[in-house]
Structure 1
Amino acid sequence: MANFTVGDEEGATEQFSKLPRRDRLVDIDGISLSIPDEVPLTTVELDFLQRLLQVISNSNDNLEMVYQILHENSDKLDTSSTDSLREYAENFIRIEELEQARAIAKNITTLSYILLQFPLGSRANNLEIAITGYEITLEVYARKAFPQDWAKTQNDLGIAYRNRIKGDKANNIEVAISAFLAALEVYTREAFPQQWVGIQNNLGNAYSDRIRGSKAKNLEAAISAFRAALSVSTREAFPQQWASIQNNLGNAYLDRIRGDKAENLEAAISAYQAALSISTREAFPQDWAETINNLGFAYKNRIRGNKAENIETAISAFQDALEVYTREAFPQDWAETINNLGLAYKDRILGEKAENIETAISAFQDALEVYTREAFPQDWAETINNLGLAYKDRILGEKAENIEDAISALRSALEVYTREAFPQDWAAVQKNLGTAYSNRIRGERAENVEIAIGCFLGSLEVYTHEAFPQNYLETLFDLGLAYQSNQQFRDAYNTLAKAIETLESVQGAILPSFSKNIYQSMVKSCLKLGYTDKAVEYVERSKAHSLVKLFTNYNLYPKGNIPDSVLNELKHLRLEISREQLRLEAKNKHGKR
């Protein structure tokens, strides 16, 4: 039998070619393999991936040499590597005894796991090679023969598909969910509690990202999965895992649709802060940076507290995260954080508004140096959308040109964010595009408003009252304003009536200024149409809505030793407000115009 050393490709080829076929045995990955007549000799060439697998086999789980080879040869991890890996598997695994095939599969799994996290080269290609490796090993790890190996590989395959860049994003996430659910058939809570926790966490992440199905239901499924995981993974027993799950739970609450928006954001902040009690910068710098970045995003969107202070807290958090997430060490995480920093500066209240927006534009442009359309199409589309919003609000430069730049950026985002692939993102960009056309200076005013109306109507096909009540409300208001701008006051009236009906029923914190603007716009439409009684009614409803929000939704109870007489008066006022609201709702259903 011929024994070859790592890297001795020339010697191996020469020595191998001189052997009679019956003596053509080769030691690859520490396993003796014979080459039957039907296998071409070209298939046993010791190429780059085979060399990696042999190093893995000889490493005794010390993978430093593997990482070194990958660092030096990251350019070789291209699209042809998946074909090479499949060819390697077909030539060797299928002709070996089960235990020998299992040993080779183990090395391929290790390589896939390394590539799943490898930061250099093409992230998309690395994930494709990893997926190929996991799919190959599942052909060896039959569930009945190797249930634990099968389940572990299903879990790893799910992680790879959830992060996959190539292919259809929605389909990738469905494959990931199926893989996690398959793994849970073996890794039950009773038999394998720790593995079960890890997969529940992964399943929660997949449901958080899910595109198909109801977004609200998906997020509830994610929260349930994370809470189930936390019922086993306690802070005392598994502190690092507990912190990771808390971080992911925060992400789900950050995006949650059901429940009160302000409360959801507070729950997200609490979860992130809990995670940071374990994931400190000194002990776990990368986990710390991820959670600090997420915490910054929650503060940027926070409803409670002082808005200006919240945004300053967010900016500080993003800047802290960037001390760990450098462009050189973590380019993708750096780009994500820079993008978030741009969003915070775009919304910043303190400082010069014009300067803040310029900082935001620079941040988005920096992020796009990493988030290219080819390498990260979805992240590119998100950042291009944000850049478009910044140009729409830009103060410096020519206003007309800025809006043209905004429209161009938003239209570019729609090339990736199609309705079929990313319906929610598509709806968001359509809404933003409609706002840009509403403000457009160039072109015919009437034509611009018609395009804006079309964008808002398109957005509302996805942003339904049932699925996205708050987005539905905001888009209805924008559509109502567009109708008013186009002198279509009957359409504006009907649209704003739906908006107010939603406003008075939706759960969540709506800014008082936003509510006031909706009622004022409705009163304007009523007066234009001659509906003076309706105009008066909506003024009354505006007052009642403000009081209901103040006393009921914000749940303001007096603190300290308050006399019973005052508390009873407060209860009486709340009761009267509730009665007035019911009266107005009944009048609205059965009343006059």
Structure 2
Amino acid sequence: MGDIKAVSASLTDSTVKAALEAIESDMATLPEKIEMLIEMAAGLQSKPRSPQQIEDAIFLYCRAIELCPAEHPLLRARGLTGMGTALRIMPAEGPEFLLEAKAAYDAALPILQEHAAPEEIAETQMNLGVVIQALVPFHKATLKNAIQAYQRAARVFNGQNYPQEFAIIQNNIAIAYLSLPLAAEGEGMRQAMAVQSFEEALKWVTLIDYPSEYAMLNNNLANALQYLPTVHPIENNLKALAAYNEALKVRTAQDTPIEYANTISNKANVLFNLPDDIEYPAKGNLKNLMKAKTYYQEAYAMFREYEQWEQAEIVKQAMQEVEKELQIQLTINN
């Protein structure tokens, strides 16, 4: 793999200076120095305070890779995978960093497959899938290849032994299915495959053990159920409503305000289309429309508070639609 030219370390971070000083000393062996560089880089990128720290991490990974002798291929592979992850999270408008991340993972995988444990290989395949999926909007990769990478990772990260990783993989696969460009007749199939992936993950992820993943999966499952082509729309909407309620056991206005606002606005979408009495749908849904209006208002205020202007505008338009429908039904009832 060629040199990473997109970024260069500022060398202002004390961690970077310490790392460079350490590799010049005689206090450690070469493999120990390489491991230290990789560990320091991983620390910088784990919770970066600025893009500069990610750049510094990439710089340290590059130095580690440069120092790797041929007799330590696994250290080289770990430097490459770490650099791939740092490149993946580097803020950018174009695909350049993502393409470099893919190249790093691609270079690491053959080495890992020869020398590493299955879990380390699977983690790299999962990360590769994320990068490929992110490259699709730039027309630099295909969703099919992303799904294949996730599926390879899932052979190791199965639900029984690795429920958290399995949940993330299934969620990503489902989102990839929902994004697949298919003809109109394939729309129902991709929605159904996405629902199946979400449901499969939820078999292994519990509210108590993995609350964040549990909420994410239920929210996304409900979104897919809402728009799943079916001859039983009310049944699917009821399932979606139940899934949103499960997500809201975790997502709260206090702890996760943006996620909470997303979920209650999605829940309002269901209520907008759900009759008050499912046995007599012709009677309308005045009560559910009133509930939807309340949820939209709360979500709108929250999105504005946290400066999520695009989402606030979408909810504002939905509020206008619910107002129109309320006026129609109030007129009919009166």
8 Å contact from structure 2 (residues 38, 60) kept in 1: no
Aligned to 1:71: none
Of the three residues 207, 210, 217, the one matched with 2:132 is 207
Aligned to 1:156: 82
Q: Which amino acid aligns with 2:12?
A: D
C-alpha displacement at 1:150, in angstroms? 3.2
8 Å contact from structure 1 (residues 299, 311) kept in 2: yes
Of the three residues 19, 36, 40, the one matched with 1:108 is 40
Is 1:254 the equivalent of 2:183?
A: no
Is 1:342 the equivalent of 2:265?
A: yes
Q: Which amino acid aligns with 1:95?
A: E
Change (3 A) 1:315 1:386: farther
Change (3 A) 1:235 1:321: closer
Query: Secondary structure at 1:178's aligned position in 2?
Result: helix
Is 1:386 the equivalent of 2:314?
A: yes
8 Å contact from structure 2 (residues 261, 303) kept in 1: yes
Aligned to 1:313: 239
Distance between the aligned counterparts of 2:83 and 2:310, measured in 1? 26
Q: Which amino acid aligns with 2:62?
A: L
Is 1:182 the equivalent of 2:182?
A: no
Change (3 A) 1:234 1:134: same
8 Å contact from structure 2 (residues 300, 316) kept in 1: no
C-alpha displacement at 1:393, in angstroms? 3.0
Q: 1:73-472, aligned counterparts within 5 Å?
A: 83-85=12-14, 88-89=17-18, 92-93=21-22, 95-97=24-26, 98=30, 101-102=33-34, 104-112=36-44, 114-115=46-47, 125=49, 128-142=52-66, 143-144=68-69, 146-164=72-90, 166-168=91-93, 170-188=95-113, 192-210=117-135, 211-213=137-139, 218-236=142-160, 238-258=162-182, 260-326=186-252, 329=255, 331=256, 334-346=257-269, 348-350=272-274, 351-352=285-286, 353=289, 356-357=292-293, 359-370=295-306, 372=307, 380=308, 382-384=310-312, 386-387=314-315, 389-390=317-318, 393=321, 395=323
Query: Secondary structure at 2:197's aligned position in 1?
Result: helix
Structure 2: which 5+ runs fail to align? 1-8, 275-284, 328-334
C-alpha displacement at 1:279, in angstroms? 1.1
Q: In the TM superposition, what whole-angstrom CA distance separates every residue of 1:526-557 from its partner, at most 9, and x where no partner exists?
A: xxxxxxxxxxxxxxxxxxxxxxxxxxxxxxxx
Structure with greater contact order relative to length (CA < 8 Å, sep ≥ 6): 2
Change (3 A) 1:279 1:90: closer
Q: Which amino acid aligns with 1:339?
A: N
Distance between the aligned counterparts of 2:42 and 2:118, measured in 1? 23
The TM-score with structure 2 as length reference comes to 0.72
8 Å contact from structure 2 (residues 41, 58) kept in 1: yes
The TM-score with structure 1 as length reference comes to 0.44
Query: Secondary structure at 1:325's aligned position in 2?
Result: coil
Q: Which amino acid aligns with 1:178?
A: A
Q: In the TM superposition, what whole-angstrom CA distance separates every residue of 1:448-472 from its partner, at most 9, and x where no partner exists?
A: xxxxxxxxxxxxxxxxxxxxxxxxx
Change (3 A) 1:339 1:106: same
8 Å contact from structure 1 (residues 137, 153) kept in 2: yes
C-alpha displacement at 1:213, in angstroms? 0.7
C-alpha displacement at 1:161, in angstroms? 3.8
Further displaced range: 196-205 or 126-135: 126-135
Query: Secondary structure at 2:177's aligned position in 1?
Result: helix
Distance between the aligned counterparts of 1:175 and 1:367, measured in 2? 34
Q: Which amino acid aligns with 2:130?
A: N
Change (3 A) 1:105 1:384: same
Q: 1:468-547, aligned counterparts within 5 Å?
A: none
Query: Secondary structure at 1:167's aligned position in 2?
Result: coil
8 Å contact from structure 2 (residues 84, 100) kept in 1: yes
Aligned to 1:540: none
Distance between the aligned counterparts of 2:159 and 2:117, measured in 1? 19
Further displaced range: 130-139 or 200-209: 130-139
Change (3 A) 1:257 1:242: same
Query: Secondary structure at 2:198's aligned position in 1?
Result: helix
Q: In the TM superposition, what whole-angstrom CA distance separates every residue of 1:465-504 from its partner, at most 9, and x where no partner exists?
A: xxxxxxxxxxxxxxxxxxxxxxxxxxxxxxxxxxxxxxxx
State, as a whole percentage, how many aligned pairs show the same letter: 21
Distance between the aligned counterparts of 1:388 and 1:364, measured in 2? 7
Change (3 A) 1:312 1:384: same
Distance between the aligned counterparts of 1:226 and 1:354, measured in 2? 42
Q: Which amino acid aligns with 2:216?
A: E
C-alpha displacement at 1:199, in angstroms? 1.5
C-alpha displacement at 1:306, in angstroms? 3.0
Distance between the aligned counterparts of 1:385 and 1:182, measured in 2? 44
Distance between the aligned counterparts of 1:172 and 1:381, measured in 2? 27
C-alpha displacement at 1:160, in angstroms? 3.9
Change (3 A) 1:190 1:91: closer
Change (3 A) 1:249 1:198: same
Query: Secondary structure at 2:88's aligned position in 1?
Result: helix
Q: In the TM superposition, what whole-angstrom CA distance separates every residue of 1:189-214 from its partner, at most 9, and x where no partner exists?
A: 78543222222212222222322117
Distance between the aligned counterparts of 1:228 and 1:391, measured in 2? 43
Alpha-carbon RMSD: 3.5
Aligned to 2:279: none
Aligned to 2:331: none
C-alpha displacement at 1:139, in angstroms? 0.9
- Report the number of matched residues: 296
